[in-house]
Amino acid sequence: MQSILVVGGAGYIGSHMLSHLQNAGYQPIVLDNLSTGHRDAVINAELIVGDMGDAALLDQLFQQHRFSAVMHFAGCIEVQESVTHPLKYYKNNVAATMTLLEKMQQYDVNHLIFSSTAAVYGEPQTALITEKHPLNPVNPYGRSKLMVEQIIKDMSEQGILKYAILRYFNAAGADKKKGMKERHQPETHLIPLILQVAQGIRENITIFGADYPTIDGTCVRDYIHVTDLCEAHLHALIWLLTKKQNVVCNLGVGRGYSVLEVLKVAREITAHSIPMVVSEKRPGDPASLVADPLLAYETWGWKASADLEMMVRDAWEASRELIKNEV
């Protein structure tokens, strides 16, 4: 059985990835410092609690296991925090990743799947964003991801590794069969925030800006179900291990929804009025961010299948733990 090191595997997306790997016959081994992850999100896999920037720990790990690939989900992910605390982002997302990459090179582990983001594109110049869109990130979070992309490409140029760089748009939903859910602390993502209002955890949802040039004035984003994301990762892994070719690929649906559209769906599903408050626009929030998902389809014959209603419904059911541990 091939072992895969899942760095950040106790986090939202990484922990969802574990069962996909197991079902496909791989053995995931998780490295996570639990800074934002959750121990109980790691189901049926070994968890090593530690930092990807800890060279001595990585020595031990790479000596104990022969990994076929590394899936790198770890990082700090809050755009607004990255503006106020840039060093935290460059230290964790870039410097700690460099230690991980250094150890991969030292131990000859040469397949990497890296979680990048649509934030590397910055302000969109086209309605649908292809991978060829200019890269002009407008905040330290996006810049930290772009720096890592560049480092990975430079290493690959020297034959050190092969990579799949996956630029996610907005991950949403949950694997309801496994009783998993999105548990960011603090939560900054729209769908879980909206659902917290329906659960009585928050009084209302703040909408940042209602006069954008979009269908209803609110920001439009491309939401992709976390299960779809994981399936795409599996395609990327198999492709990387067999074809040994690099790829940089968007992971999105190719359809955008405005904040008000998401709210409408959430109101229907939760049967809650979910009051909203309109606030000032946030600096660096583009009006619309929607993926052109064609390359993923051309490369792996894969496209996302879940729609917004499924994402909100799964997130809602998971957040209420209605079907926790259902198999």
Ligand X SMILES: NC(=O)c1ccc[n+]([C@@H]2O[C@H](COP(=O)([O-])OP(=O)(O)OC[C@H]3O[C@@H](n4cnc5c(N)ncnc54)[C@H](O)[C@@H]3O)[C@@H](O)[C@H]2O)c1
Choosing from 141, 168, 223, 257, which is the catalytic residue? Answer: 141
Residue type, 5: L
Chain contacts with ligand X (rule: CB under 6 A): 7-8, 10-14, 31-37, 51-53, 73-75, 77, 92, 96, 115, 117, 168, 170-171, 184
The burial class, CB within 10 Å (0-12 / 13-18 / 19+), for 314 is buried
Evaluate the omega torsion of the peptide bond into residue 186 and state whether it is cis, within 30 degrees of 0: yes
**In the complex, minimum distance from the CB of residue 271 to ligand X, in angstroms, rounded to a whole number:** 26
Closer Cβ to ligand X, 184 or 235, answer by number? 184
Closest CA to 233 of 32, 38, 39, 4: 4
Closer Cβ to ligand X, 162 or 221, answer by number? 221
Give buried/exposed letters for 87-106 (b at 16+ CB in 10 A, else e).
Answer: eebbebbbebbebbbebbee
Find how far residue 180's CA is from the centre of its chain: 15
Q: How far is residue 274's CA from residue 63's CA, in Å, rounded to a whole number?
A: 52
Q: How far is residue 231's CA from residue 21's CA, in Å, rounded to a whole number?
A: 9
Closer Cβ to ligand X, 46 or 211, answer by number? 46
**In the complex, minimum distance from the CB of residue 313 to ligand X, in angstroms, rounded to a whole number:** 18
Q: Residues 119, 171: contact at Cβ < 8 Å?
A: no
CA atoms within 13 A on the CB side of 125: 10
**In the complex, minimum distance from the CB of residue 252 to ligand X, in angstroms, rounded to a whole number:** 10
Closer Cβ to ligand X, 213 or 251, answer by number? 251
Q: Residues 159, 301: contact at Cβ < 8 Å?
A: no
Closer Cβ to ligand X, 221 or 313, answer by number? 221
Question: How many CB atoms neighbour CB 159 within 10 A?
Answer: 8
**In the complex, minimum distance from the CB of residue 188 to ligand X, in angstroms, rounded to a whole number:** 9
Closer Cβ to ligand X, 88 or 303, answer by number? 88
**In the complex, minimum distance from the CB of residue 314 to ligand X, in angstroms, rounded to a whole number:** 15
Q: How far is residue 41's CA from residue 44's CA, in Å, rounded to a whole number?
A: 10
Residue-wise DSSP of 68-128: EEEEE--S---HHHHHH-HHHHIIIIIIIHHHHHHHHHHTT--EEEEEEEGGGT-S-SSSS
**In the complex, minimum distance from the CB of residue 159 to ligand X, in angstroms, rounded to a whole number:** 26
141 classed as catalytic: yes
**Residues labelled catalytic:** 141
